[in-house]
Structure 1
Amino acid sequence: MIFGLTFSSLRLLILSLAVLSQIYLFYRVRKAIRSLHRPHRFKRLAIPAAGVAMVLLFAASLYIVFKPIPWVYPPTPAQVVFFYPPAVWGLGSIFSALLLLIFQLAGGIGGAALRLLRKAACRAAAPPFGRSLRVVQLTDIHAGLYMNREQLRCYADKVISLQPDLFVLTGDYVSNSLSFLPGCLEEMTRIRAPYGTFATLGNHEHWYAGLDELREIFRKSGIPLLNNEHRVISTERGPFAVAGIDDLRNGDPDLDAALRGLDRAVPTLLLSHRPEIFPEAAGRAIPLTLSGHYHGGQIKIGPPGAGISLAHLRTPYPEGLYRIGDSRLYVSRGIGTTFTPVRLNAPPEVTVIQLT
């Protein structure tokens, strides 16, 4: 007996969890497919196809569990092809479903995180900008299975409630498929800031499409894409500029091109998906750079506010506020996740910065 259960009872319990996990995962997959900007016919075929694939994988995993299989080591190619995928699916689907459900029930939108980010934003408000400006930043959205259309709409509603003067997006709009990008941008266009919305690219966009295709998607959305370029915005207290550069590793970044023709006396806000541009930006006397990419570590080990993650070992700018001279960098934790829908000691963040 295990935990007071007979072997038969324990196996029935695990089987029940497995069945429920398949149902919940199919529900999440169906929502993700429905949020795609694809023809209705495609969705009508894709949803049952996904269901059939899940049923076949689950049935195969049950066969492996209840039917003795002559496993050998090292495994034969036939075992790798026919037995390993369903075996991995059988166990992995249970954990994936539980994680998705737990984080949905725990409030993945993160209302508490919004209160925390307001405090962080006050600290980031210090760089003098010569005009009062409320900037709201979203980054690392990662639309897909772990960030569906309904969640995107909730985040857009939160941004709208903050009444930004300027709304900026700093890359990684999708997780593992460009099909989710149009729907993501459609939700972002609901946010109408007086001085506009501007976006720059992250590494995930470059993984799945060329620059011309990405430009066309953004053009259709109506959101200006700042890819090594800038826009000058007029206000009653004088102009300011928003500049954006391409992803530092997967794109073709060019800060010179982004600032070309821009008067150095015009206060400039720089958008860069990765924060490592900051020393160069500070050398150009750019008052404020906004970045993301590292999710604040996403999974940090240690006490709240003092944890360490792989991101903290990869970059000197994993999250928060940094300063070089009179220039500031703010690195947002973003709102999405990659690889796993888990965040630990790195809650999602909608960044609010009040410039003066």
Structure 2
Amino acid sequence: MLVASQLYLFVRGDRALQQSRWSLRRKKLLRLALIGFFVSTLIIYIAFLSRWAPLEHPSPLILYLFIYPTAIWSFGSLFSFLLLLLADLTGYCARLIRAKVVQQNEASALPLDPSRRMFMQTSLGALTAAPILVSGYGASYASNGWGIEEVHLSLSSSHPFDPPLKVVQVSDIHSGLFMTPDQMRHYAEAIRQLGPDLFVLTGDFIANSAVDLPPCIKEMARVESRYGSFAVLGNHEHWYGEPEKIITAFEGAGISILHNSHQILEIDRGSIAIAGIDDLRVGRPNLGRALDGLNPTLPTILLSHRPEIFPRAAARNITLTLSGHYHGGQVKVSVLGLSISPAHLLSPYPEGLYRLRNSHLYVNRGLGTTGTPVRVNAPPEITLFHLT
């Protein structure tokens, strides 16, 4: 789709250039520039898709001069392509209808007003440029638009925690091209400032290479929490890494991986259990094993990368399930009070807080991005829970 969109945009741009009123010399120069731009874009696509270019920790010059602009252009131009294609199809249908009407009326078509044509072309140009601008804004938003979401919940009505237990959750870090060690260090410092009693991570630590895992572990291990740090694996750990080695690396850094298992924490406000399962789709999840031997009356937090475990967790009286995976849709449009995004089409739990009987689910929007470094209306988040 990317290659097809680029070829279409080149043909469309070249046609508009030839129809312009510029001098022949300027047209030739602009055409050469247009060819150079699209050829270089396609070369970058091929280079990175075939791993000719180094993907691991490129220099800031390569990252911000080549990779980010190409990613922003690719995402935005895909929507520009769709808008132009729709406009061309609409124009083609309109011309067919107009020719049919003229033929039936046996009359000549009225000449088009040049000023109206210019207005239409300018409006179409602005409309097709808009996705590129939104894409650029979304890349900045993904890096700088993060915030801390605070959630107050009751874990136990009979023996409430007083003062509340502070639990910090992060998810979908996606260490890699668009999540650098410096960014992760910044997030880790923000988490440290919250002074968590418990720190949990709900999977997808890497983007597309296990090479990017060590800096993620290093920065997240800097977070000090009173009762420990716990994590579960996501689908990206299975796709791009070896789960056994990843678990060993986390454990060596002091972060416990709950792989279909649980731990009981004795805290000064009572006891609490924390359990975790493997990824629901590409892992080997086993909720029964994770909860085996747990007292059903004990307040329990379940970590699951994907949120679709929630109905089963609620049936097992799990007090709180924490998940991620969907990034809140990453690019979300809100229309008439409705949110539309890929996540909202794929899952009943795209983001935020849900309740089923006495159980709660919270789906974190994640810190990183996947596919494109763009977020729109779905900011990255660190979640701070106050549990009583």
TM-score scaled to structure 2, two decimals? 0.66
Partner of 2:27: 7
**Which SS does the other structure have where 2:190 is aligned?**
helix
**Which SS does the other structure have where 2:257 is aligned?**
coil
Partner of 2:355: 323
Residues 166-216 of structure 1 show CA distances to partners (whole Å, capped at 9, x for unaligned) of 110000001100111111011000100101110000000011233322222
**Which SS does the other structure have where 2:381 is aligned?**
coil
Distance 1:137 1:18 in 2: 42
**2:387 corresponds to 1:355:** yes
Residue 57 of structure 2: which of 26, 30, 33 is its match? 33
Partner of 1:249: 281
- Contact 1:143–1:336 at 8 Å: present in 2 too? yes
Partner of 2:156: 128
Partner of 2:206: 174
**Which SS does the other structure have where 1:313 is aligned?**
helix
Distance 2:337 2:205 in 1: 26
Q: How does 1:87-98 map to 2 (within 5 A)?
A: none
- Contact 1:321–1:331 at 8 Å: present in 2 too? yes
- Contact 2:142–2:379 at 8 Å: present in 1 too? no
Residue 228 of structure 1: which of 240, 250, 260 is its match? 260
Cα separation, partners in 2 of 1:229 and 1:159, compared to 1, 3 Å: same
- Contact 2:176–2:207 at 8 Å: present in 1 too? yes
- Contact 2:188–2:220 at 8 Å: present in 1 too? yes
Structure 1: give runs of 5+ residues left out of the alignment. 36-46, 59-96
- Contact 1:182–1:221 at 8 Å: present in 2 too? no
Alpha-carbon distance, 1:106 to partner: 4.7
Residues 252-310 of structure 1 show CA distances to partners (whole Å, capped at 9, x for unaligned) of 11111111122222211100000011111111111100001111111112349732112
Cα separation, partners in 2 of 1:333 and 1:105, compared to 1, 3 Å: closer
Code of the residue aligned with 1:110 in structure 2: it is G
**2:139 corresponds to 1:139:** no
- Contact 1:127–1:328 at 8 Å: present in 2 too? no
- Contact 1:230–1:244 at 8 Å: present in 2 too? yes
Alpha-carbon distance, 1:341 to partner: 0.7
Residues 296-336 of structure 1 show CA distances to partners (whole Å, capped at 9, x for unaligned) of 11111234973211211211111111111110000111111
- Contact 2:56–2:211 at 8 Å: present in 1 too? no
Cα separation, partners in 2 of 1:342 and 1:230, compared to 1, 3 Å: same
- Contact 1:199–1:225 at 8 Å: present in 2 too? yes
Partner of 1:80: none
Residues 60-116 of structure 1 show CA distances to partners (whole Å, capped at 9, x for unaligned) of xxxxxxxxxxxxxxxxxxxxxxxxxxxxxxxxxxxxx999975565571324x33xx
Code of the residue aligned with 2:178 in structure 1: it is Y
- Contact 2:138–2:376 at 8 Å: present in 1 too? no
Partner of 1:109: 144
- Contact 2:209–2:241 at 8 Å: present in 1 too? no
Distance 1:258 1:98 in 2: 47
Distance 1:195 1:325 in 2: 28
- Contact 2:58–2:177 at 8 Å: present in 1 too? no
Residue 242 of structure 2: which of 210, 222, 225 is its match? 210
Cα separation, partners in 2 of 1:276 and 1:106, compared to 1, 3 Å: closer
Partner of 1:293: 325
- Contact 1:199–1:223 at 8 Å: present in 2 too? yes
Structure 2: give runs of 5+ residues left out of the alignment. 1-16, 71-131
**Which SS does the other structure have where 1:307 is aligned?**
strand
Q: Share of identical aligned residues, percent?
A: 48
- Contact 1:206–1:250 at 8 Å: present in 2 too? yes
- Contact 1:317–1:331 at 8 Å: present in 2 too? yes
**Which SS does the other structure have where 2:57 is aligned?**
helix
TM-score scaled to structure 1, two decimals? 0.72
Distance 1:287 1:152 in 2: 30
Partner of 1:149: 181
Alpha-carbon distance, 1:240 to partner: 0.6
**2:311 corresponds to 1:279:** yes
Cα separation, partners in 2 of 1:9 and 1:345, compared to 1, 3 Å: same
Q: Which has the higher strand share?
A: 2
Alpha-carbon distance, 1:128 to partner: 3.4
**Which SS does the other structure have where 1:135 is aligned?**
strand
Worse-superposed segment, 338-347 or 217-226:
217-226
- Contact 1:141–1:173 at 8 Å: present in 2 too? yes
Query: Please, what is the CA RMSD of the aligned residues?
Result: 3.5
